[in-house]
Chains A and B, each alone.
Chain A
Amino acid sequence: MSNGRASQRPSALKTGFAPWLFLGVGTILCLLAVDVAPWLKEYPENWVIPLSDGITAAASWFVDNFKWAFRGISWLLNWPMWGVQSVLQWLPWPLTIAFFAIFAHRYGSFRLALFTSLALGYMAVVGYWSESMNTLALVTLSVPLSISIGLALGIVAFKSERTDRVIQPTLDLMQTIPAFAYLIPILFLFGFGPVVGLISSAIFAIPPMVRNTILGLKQVPPAVLESGIMSGCTPRQRFWQVELPTALPQIMIGVNQSTMAALSMVIIAAIIGGFDDIGWEVLSTMRKAQFGNSLLAGMVIALLAMILDRLSWALANQQNVPNRPRDSLISRYKHSFIALAAFIVITILAQLLPAFATYPDAWVFYPADSLNEFVNYIVRNYWSVMESIKNNTLFFIMLPLRNGLSVAINPFTWGFEVTPVMIWGYAIATTLLTLWLYLRKSWRHATGAAVFALFLFFGTTGTPWPVFIGITTLVAYQAGGRRVALFAFFSMAFMLINGLWHPVMLSVYLCGTAVLLSIILGGLIGIWAAHNDTVSSIIRPINDTLQTMPQFVLLIPVLMLFRVGEFSALLAVIAYAIVPPIRYFEHGLRSVPTEIVEAARQMGCTPRQMLFEVKLPLALPVIMLGLNQAIMYGLGMLVIAAMVGTQGLGQQIFLALGKADMGRGIVTGLSMALVAMVADRILQAYSRKRQEALGL
């Protein structure tokens, strides 16, 4: 970080310390003035400019005038939807399993076929076959829809620079606005019912497809393009026979990501659509606190996600096998023949034996009750341990970060009262620490410590908003220059003016706490995995599974053990947001150039010095990207976690959804997206800067 302290300090005032000094003075003035001017702490209600009302009005006008067109689309989509559902329900269950297994074997391996059969078998055994097939029907329809739209948009964006300039920021928005927020307008336009799930998941799954299409087409090597031109391709031939096939592997990755996005959205949509599918099953049992049941149903979702992921991944990575004319017809179409044979045999069997047509109820093994009892047993016996983990985290980490030490410390939590002497002691200690850091390290360390001490004392929600805005804008400016700073400033102003400051701060606090803990825990695991191949090979499939799992499945085990509450939400967010830090820490540390590591070892670095002096500084840009991802994941999970009772933006979105308040939903969703984008821009800019400085 500091390249020669001596050279840095004299010019520190010029290089960015001066604004911090101003801000520090401003902060102190602000804190002193809070008693006389309470608006500094709490943005007054009557200053709120209700943008959402205008949006609601405009949106209702739009809905009233154009609803017929969208309802028409709904009506049209109803038919294929009905068709696919009927087919999947009609197909004898052993036949569906056979088809999946044959497909898995054709494009993947025997192991994949086995896994697919077992996973589908589970769905039949626990008696969720019909629900699973309904969910599958939605995915089967929405994926081709979003893939074709995404591919077309990607091609257009690749061909026309102007379209690209419109599409890229739209994709950014689509991927950062929580899906719940745009469920509201979709509901109004398309009406209720399963088709809404189809449409919203198709929309949600478009962005990854567009991005990968553009990326793939841009990555076609120039020599391949030129060789196409020199072969005398017409522009059309060049595109269809050279560019598109060369880009295909990347495009197939888009198909994989699209499929996963569609599945996770189908399940979210079930929350509002509420028809007879597996997402609804999870949600309704969760609401009734039948956690054993929801775990069994949640497993179905997780398995479905894994099957779709592995299958589309196998499809994306299939090695093109040359078609040899000398191969016999049978060996060329082996899998098709087997599938046909399975079809004939099982259909006939299904006519004779009803057990082949529908999985008999008598064979269902549904251990929900025993699961519930098992959980109860654990909770009963380890109640005190779990309570103490929960309470300690709440009292010593969450409350201070949310409300500040000034509020968090009371006889009930910490066992004593905050006295004025303690406050003065805290202030003096902080000042001394800051001074020491300034003299011994650099102004950056000192500033960081001062800001942290401030937040710790007042909490995210207790810090006066002008101070918060000032600090964030300044950080944005120093990391990314004027444009990032302006973006951050106006984003925060938008939230403030719309009266969302308090929920935003609650979200920032919860997400921030989760990300902080994820970084610490994930960082440690990542460092361990980077130095130990066994750990790495154990961690990797766990990470993969956590990431393929539709987010709200993660809620189930947490709720089983810790019940509804902020602590459960925190754990769920961590479970999802911890994956990127683990991955990026490991990747960053492992990709430090070998010759640098060897040089350091040759100079006699101890393992600890190697880590802290060599590897971590060099891996920092990559780690920052991991942090960025963790924030995105955390915010995404926050909305889901709001279902189990957290406050903040997620809760606001659910309120809007409940009241069908379009304006509020959109403004809140946009605020959430803006929080994500501000964090993203700042971290990306910083990471880029470091990367350039390191010459990587």
Chain B
Amino acid sequence: MGDPASSIVKLACRNIWKVYGDNPGQYFNTNQDHVSDPAATLEKIIQGNHIPAAADVSFDVHEGEIFVIMGLSGSGKSTMVRCLSRLVEPTAGEIILGDIDLLKANDEELIEIRRHKMGMVFQSFGLLPHLSVLDNVAFPLKIQNIGEAERRRKAAEMIELVGLSGREDAFPRQLSGGQQQRVGIARSLAVEPELWFLDEPFSALDPLIRRQMQDEFVRLQTMLHKTIVFITHDFLEALKLADRIAIMKDGQVVQIGTPAEIVLNPATSYVAEFTSDVPLVRVITCGSIMVPATQDLDHSIIARPDTTLEELLPGFSGRVEPIPVVSDDELVGMVTPADVLQALAESEAKASQK
């Protein structure tokens, strides 16, 4: 499909469990790689007054992909991102980053991995109140004992990147929420991580600022091509930013798919509740409804596989012939007005059934 990310798996998360309680280890056999019967284990955990914050979660994050974990509060999404960064120790499972088994890394190795491979942005910013903007951004470099000149240069570059030039000497308390989160973003990028975690980065911001920051984020990603795990409770934000979305509920993944797949085929009624209000034109992409090109097409208007119908529709004003779909300068298919109508009608019908 129209997935811009490569198919190389950057981060693999296999059967992760995180159980809270007096003795969570009792439910897991240390000799076994993963739990043979997840449903039964989950039942046992709940019976035993333990809390399963994450239950048998598996997914792959591809290189250069924005992978969004979406869920409401208490769904385990925050626990999951903390398991991936090992801020929280998973009770069972396996996490592979590139060729490193993350859960087997010892403390020193983990510090090295965090220093060079990971960056993280927090909902409440997590800025150090006693350091200026510049020193906050330079902090990850400072603790690696990188020289002052080098880290000032690098930090200034990052501050420029997030559009905060001129505020280097300010302190966090003097900045607005949006500006503080820009600092947080700059700091997390300062070490040029391969893997970028964002834990509800925009949830604490006003709606207007939030939209600006989302656009900013998309702009950054088109420049940087990081592998991203993005946590949010906002379904529309997930649709807007994600290459793929995992929806979580009660510690379990309910559905994984591209935004269009999830909106068009919600796996459960729970997912359908989120999707019911989503305007379909915003989600359905040309890639998902195109047919092979059978005729010579007028290239005055073209679409890409990830062009949404909302963006495509104006092209059909005063035009009845199909619009070509082009990816990397190559013709991959075409979309006819009839296809558009049919897709909308079908998914509308599906949505009303749910």
A-side residues, CB < 8 A to B, are 221, 223-234, 237, 241-242, 245-246, 248-249, 320, 322, 324
Contact present for A232 and B112 (CB under 8 Å): yes
Residues of B within 8 A of A322 (CB): 132, 169, 171
Contact present for A229 and B114 (CB under 8 Å): yes
Residues of A within 8 A of B191 (CB): 231-232
Question: Which residues 158-185 in B have Cβ within 8 Å of A in the complex?
Answer: 169, 171, 184
Contact present for B132 and A224 (CB under 8 Å): no
Residues of B within 8 A of A237 (CB): 143
Which B residue's beta carbon lies closest to that of A322? B169
Contact present for A227 and B127 (CB under 8 Å): yes
Which A residue's beta carbon lies closest to that of B139? A231
Min C-beta distance of A119 to chain B, whole Å? 31
Contact present for A226 and B171 (CB under 8 Å): no
Answer whether residue B266 sits at the interface, using C-beta atoms and an 8 A cutoff.
Answer: no
Answer whether residue B58 sits at the interface, using C-beta atoms and an 8 A cutoff.
Answer: no
Contact present for A230 and B132 (CB under 8 Å): no
Min C-beta distance of A497 to chain B, whole Å? 42
Min C-beta distance of A318 to chain B, whole Å? 11
Which A residue's beta carbon lies closest to that of B140? A231
Which A residue's beta carbon lies closest to that of B87? A226
Q: How far is the CA of A225 from the CA of B140 in the complex (A)?
A: 13
Interface centre among A226, A248, A320 (most CB of B within 10 A): A226
Report B133-144 CB contacts with A as 1/0, cut-off 8 Å.
Answer: 000000110111
The contact of A226 among B112, B120, B129, by CB within 8 Å, is B120
Contact present for B114 and A231 (CB under 8 Å): yes
Contact present for A229 and B87 (CB under 8 Å): yes
Residues of A within 8 A of B112 (CB): 232
Contact present for B122 and A231 (CB under 8 Å): no
Contact present for A231 and B115 (CB under 8 Å): yes
Known: A231-B139, A232-B140, A237-B143. A246 touches B114 (CB 8 A): no
Contact present for B126 and A221 (CB under 8 Å): yes
The contact of A230 among B120, B123, B131, B142, by CB within 8 Å, is B120
Residues of A within 8 A of B187 (CB): 227, 231
Which B residue's beta carbon lies closest to that of A235? B107
Since A228-B128, A231-B143, A249-B129 are in contact, a sample of 7 more A-B pairs with Cβ atoms closer than 8 Å, ordered by chain A residue number, is A223-B125, A226-B82, A226-B126, A231-B115, A231-B191, A234-B143, A241-B142
Contact present for A245 and B128 (CB under 8 Å): yes
Answer whether residue B130 sits at the interface, using C-beta atoms and an 8 A cutoff.
Answer: yes
Min C-beta distance of B303 to chain A, whole Å? 40
Answer whether residue B85 sits at the interface, using C-beta atoms and an 8 A cutoff.
Answer: yes
Answer whether residue B124 sits at the interface, using C-beta atoms and an 8 A cutoff.
Answer: yes
The contact of A223 among B116, B124, B131, B143, by CB within 8 Å, is B124
Report B102-118 CB contacts with A as 1/0, cut-off 8 Å.
Answer: 00000000011111101
Contact present for B130 and A248 (CB under 8 Å): yes
Contact present for A246 and B122 (CB under 8 Å): no
Contact present for A241 and B143 (CB under 8 Å): yes
Contact present for A234 and B130 (CB under 8 Å): no
Q: Chain B contact residues (Cβ within 8 angstroms of A): what range? A: 35 or more
Contact present for B169 and A233 (CB under 8 Å): no
The contact of B120 among A227, A241, A249, A324, by CB within 8 Å, is A227
Known: A229-B87, A231-B140, A231-B143. A224 touches B128 (CB 8 A): yes
Q: How far is the CA of A324 from the CA of B129 in the complex (A)?
A: 18
Min C-beta distance of B87 to chain A, whole Å? 5
25 A-B residue pairs with Cβ-Cβ distance under 8 Å, sorted by A, are A223-B124, A223-B125, A224-B127, A224-B129, A226-B82, A226-B120, A227-B120, A227-B128, A227-B184, A229-B114, A230-B114, A230-B118, A230-B120, A231-B115, A231-B143, A232-B112, A232-B114, A232-B116, A232-B143, A233-B111, A242-B128, A245-B129, A246-B128, A246-B129, A324-B169
The contact of B143 among A226, A233, A248, by CB within 8 Å, is A233
Question: Which residues 297-338 in B have Cβ within 8 Å of A in the complex?
Answer: none
Q: How far is the CA of A248 from the CA of B130 in the complex (A)?
A: 9
Contact present for A232 and B111 (CB under 8 Å): yes
Contact present for B128 and A230 (CB under 8 Å): no
Answer whether residue B259 sits at the interface, using C-beta atoms and an 8 A cutoff.
Answer: no
Q: How far is the CA of A225 from the CA of B82 in the complex (A)?
A: 13
Residues of A within 8 A of B82 (CB): 226
Answer whether residue B287 sits at the interface, using C-beta atoms and an 8 A cutoff.
Answer: no
Which B residue's beta carbon lies closest to that of A249? B129
Q: How far is the CA of A233 from the CA of B118 in the complex (A)?
A: 13
Please count the residue pairs between chain A and chain B whose beta carbons lie under 8 angstroms apart in the complex. 76
Answer whether residue B93 sits at the interface, using C-beta atoms and an 8 A cutoff.
Answer: no
Which B residue's beta carbon lies closest to that of A225? B126
Contact present for B119 and A230 (CB under 8 Å): yes
Q: How far is the CA of A223 from the CA of B187 in the complex (A)?
A: 14
Contact present for B111 and A234 (CB under 8 Å): yes
Residues of A within 8 A of B87 (CB): 226, 229-230
Known: A241-B143, A242-B128. A226 touches B111 (CB 8 A): no
Q: How far is the CA of A245 from the CA of B143 in the complex (A)?
A: 15
Contact present for B126 and A320 (CB under 8 Å): no
Min C-beta distance of B354 to chain A, whole Å? 38
Min C-beta distance of A319 to chain B, whole Å? 8
Interface centre among A227, A230, A245 (most CB of B within 10 A): A230
Contact present for A227 and B122 (CB under 8 Å): yes
Min C-beta distance of A136 to chain B, whole Å? 30
Which B residue's beta carbon lies closest to that of A319? B171
Residues of B within 8 A of A249 (CB): 129
Q: How far is the CA of A322 from the CA of B197 in the complex (A)?
A: 30
Q: How far is the CA of A320 from the CA of B116 in the complex (A)?
A: 30
Known: A232-B115, A233-B111. A227 touches B126 (CB 8 A): yes
Residues of A within 8 A of B142 (CB): 241
Residues of B within 8 A of A229 (CB): 87, 114
Question: Which residues 48-88 in B have Cβ within 8 Å of A in the complex?
Answer: 82, 85, 87
Residues of B within 8 A of A224 (CB): 126-129
Q: How far is the CA of A234 from the CA of B114 in the complex (A)?
A: 11
Contact present for A223 and B114 (CB under 8 Å): no
Q: How far is the CA of A471 from the CA of B199 in the complex (A)?
A: 55
Contact present for B114 and A245 (CB under 8 Å): no
Which B residue's beta carbon lies closest to that of A245? B130
Q: How far is the CA of A231 from the CA of B129 in the complex (A)?
A: 16
Q: How far is the CA of A229 from the CA of B126 in the complex (A)?
A: 11
Min C-beta distance of B13 to chain A, whole Å? 18
Which A residue's beta carbon lies closest to that of B169? A322
Residues of B within 8 A of A228 (CB): 128
Interface centre among B124, B130, B187 (most CB of A within 10 A): B130
Closest 9 A-B residue pairs measured CB to CB? A232-B115, A223-B126, A227-B126, A231-B140, A232-B114, A230-B120, A322-B169, A223-B122, A245-B130
Residues of A within 8 A of B111 (CB): 232-234
Min C-beta distance of B93 to chain A, whole Å? 20
Which A residue's beta carbon lies closest to that of B82? A226
Q: How far is the CA of A229 from the CA of B187 in the complex (A)?
A: 13
Q: How far is the CA of A228 from the CA of B82 in the complex (A)?
A: 14
Residues of A within 8 A of B119 (CB): 230
Residues of B within 8 A of A246 (CB): 128-130
Interface centre among B82, B111, B126 (most CB of A within 10 A): B126
Min C-beta distance of B260 to chain A, whole Å? 33
Q: How far is the CA of A471 from the CA of B179 in the complex (A)?
A: 60
Min C-beta distance of A331 to chain B, whole Å? 15
Contact present for A223 and B123 (CB under 8 Å): yes
Min C-beta distance of A515 to chain B, whole Å? 40
Interface centre among A229, A231, A249 (most CB of B within 10 A): A231
Interface centre among A227, A242, A249 (most CB of B within 10 A): A227
Min C-beta distance of A486 to chain B, whole Å? 28
Which A residue's beta carbon lies closest to that of B129? A246
Which B residue's beta carbon lies closest to that of A227? B126
Q: How far is the CA of A320 from the CA of B191 in the complex (A)?
A: 26
Which A residue's beta carbon lies closest to that of B184? A227
Residues of B within 8 A of A231 (CB): 114-115, 139-140, 143, 187, 191
Contact present for B122 and A226 (CB under 8 Å): yes
Residues of A within 8 A of B127 (CB): 224, 227
Interface centre among A237, A246, A249, A322 (most CB of B within 10 A): A322
Min C-beta distance of A299 to chain B, whole Å? 38
